[in-house]
Amino acid sequence: MSVQYQAVGWNRQKRIYDSVLAGGILTYLAIFVGLGAMLYPAATAETLLIRGFGTLALVLLHVILCIGPLCRLDRRFLPLLYNRRHLGVAMFLVALVHGVFSIIQFHALGDVSPLVSLFISNTRYGSLAQFPFEALGFAALLILFVMAATSHDFWLHNLSAPAWKRIHMMVYLAYALLLAHVVLGALQSDRDVLLAGLLGIGIILLTALHLLAGTKESRIDREVARAELDGFVDVCAVDKIPEKRAKVVSLGSERVAVFRYDGKISAISNVCRHQNGPLGEGRIIDGCVICPWHGYQYSPDTGASPPPFTDKVPTYQTKLIDGKVLIHPCAHPPGTRLEPSLIERVAAGETK
């Protein structure tokens, strides 16, 4: 988190993540090229490298797209999400090597510029079997470039979180373009049954994970506020909220994280100011809600980050009646301090 935009500092966890990532990339390439050379002795080193980098980029993209739903389904995957942007930039660089090698290999020997050749050497857009699939890879690469280039918190801060999010949702468009790139490319060769099979498994896995995570999310949305009292809505019994944790409730389009801590109840927006991380999935440590994604901190009663940080989220008025937690659906401006509801006083028969 930051006063300006510098979000999360370099730390041991990041170094481990990046070392594992670099080791994984090198191991994959070594195995791919080594096995490829053994199984297809006629294949040139250039071909093996182009295919090795291309398939690796696609594998990494699948991993990246799986991380979001996996974290929604099971908190144990959160460490993967912590550094997902490094994974994204690494995937772009791997894809870039594949694209550049392909252009050099297939378009550099003519008398027109390789980039021009990429678009004019095959213009059979009307043919499925002969479709110029490389243009699709190029379009996907452009999207991946924009995402990698704007991945730093500087851009998140300057573009605003919603605009940044919209740009990064284009990853699904890139994914669709890449599926077409690979499928239409494979249609032009007859050796890609294994690739097609693996791609099918990848698509099924991704779809299943997104559907499962979506179902879980919509369950939360359906649990909207049943009993209403003085405009307050029923959240749950106070015992249902574990100490230093939250219960997330959906109030129409807003999600609110209702925290229980030190005999008190407070409610803040569930949406982290950094990258919309789910604050209600974080816990309270040293008096602050810690965002599970990258560790931004917020005080549960004010919704404000501790000084010198300036990030703030909206707060919600809470109330306890007969062991039940209620909140008022109107959000207070970000950083507004609201008196927490005291659990002990409820036990004595009072309400607040």
Amino acid identity for residue 92 in this structure: F
**Shortest distance, CB of residue 172 to ligand FES, whole angstroms?**
20
Q: Residue 178 is encoded by which pair of tokens?
A: 């890449």
Q: Which of the residues 27 through 66 are near ligand HEM (CB under 6 A)?
A: 47, 50-51, 54-55, 57-58, 61
Q: Which of the residues 286 through 325 are near ligand FES (CB under 6 A)?
A: 291, 293-296
Q: Is 332 in the site for ligand HEM (CB under 6 A)?
A: no
Q: Is 109 in the site for ligand HEM (CB under 6 A)?
A: no
Alpha carbons 81 and 67: distance in angstroms, whole number = 6
User: Pick from 319, 321, 295, 328: which is nearest to 309 by CA?
Assistant: 295
Q: Which does 52 bind (CB under 5 to 8 A by kind): ligand HEM, ligand FES, none?
A: none
Which residue sits closest to ligand HEM, CB atoms considered?
137
Count other Cβ atoms within 10 Å, centred on residue 328.
18
Q: Residue 298 is encoded by which pair of tokens?
A: 């917020």
Alpha carbons 209 and 215: distance in angstroms, whole number = 10
With beta carbons less than 8 A apart as the criterion, state whether 254 and 331 touch: yes
Alpha carbons 48 and 50: distance in angstroms, whole number = 6
| Ramachandran class of 266: left when φ > 0, alpha when ψ lies in -120 to 50, beta otherwise | beta
| Ramachandran class of 210: left when φ > 0, alpha when ψ lies in -120 to 50, beta otherwise | alpha
Stretch binding ligand HEM (CB under 6 A), from 20-28, 184-192, 276-284, 335-343: 184-192
Instruction: Tell me which of 65, 85, 97, 134 binds ligand HEM, using CB under 6 A.
Output: 134
Angle between helix 84-107 and helix 133-149 axes, rounded to 10 deg: 140
Stretch binding ligand HEM (CB under 6 A), from 9-17, 95-103, 119-127, 338-346: 95-103
Question: Does an H or E element contain 298, and which?
Answer: strand 297-298
Alpha carbons 75 and 64: distance in angstroms, whole number = 16
Cis preceding linkage at 308, omega within 30: yes
Stretch binding ligand HEM (CB under 6 A), from 100-108, 165-173, 225-233, 328-336: 100-108
Count other Cβ atoms within 10 Å, centred on residue 124.
10
Q: Is 106 in the site for ligand HEM (CB under 6 A)?
A: yes
The nearer residue to ligand FES, 98 or 274, going by C-beta atoms, is 274
Cβ partners under 8 Å of residue 59, min gap 6: 28
Instruction: Tell me which of 257, 272, 326, 327 binds ligand FES, using CB under 6 A.
Output: 272
Q: Which of the residues 218 through 237 are near ligand FES (CB under 6 A)?
A: none
Stretch binding ligand FES (CB under 6 A), from 207-215, 223-231, 244-252, 273-281: 273-281
Q: Which of the residues 138 through 157 are near ligand HEM (CB under 6 A)?
A: 138, 140-141, 144
Stretch binding ligand HEM (CB under 6 A), from 156-164, 179-187, 212-220, 323-331: 179-187
Give the three-class secondary structure for 98.
helix
Q: Is 277 in the site for ligand FES (CB under 6 A)?
A: yes
Residues found near ligand FES in the complex (CB under 6 A): 272, 274-275, 277, 291, 293-296
Residues found near ligand HEM in the complex (CB under 6 A): 47, 50-51, 54-55, 57-58, 61, 95, 98-99, 102-103, 106, 118, 134, 137-138, 140-141, 144, 178, 181-182, 185, 189, 192, 195
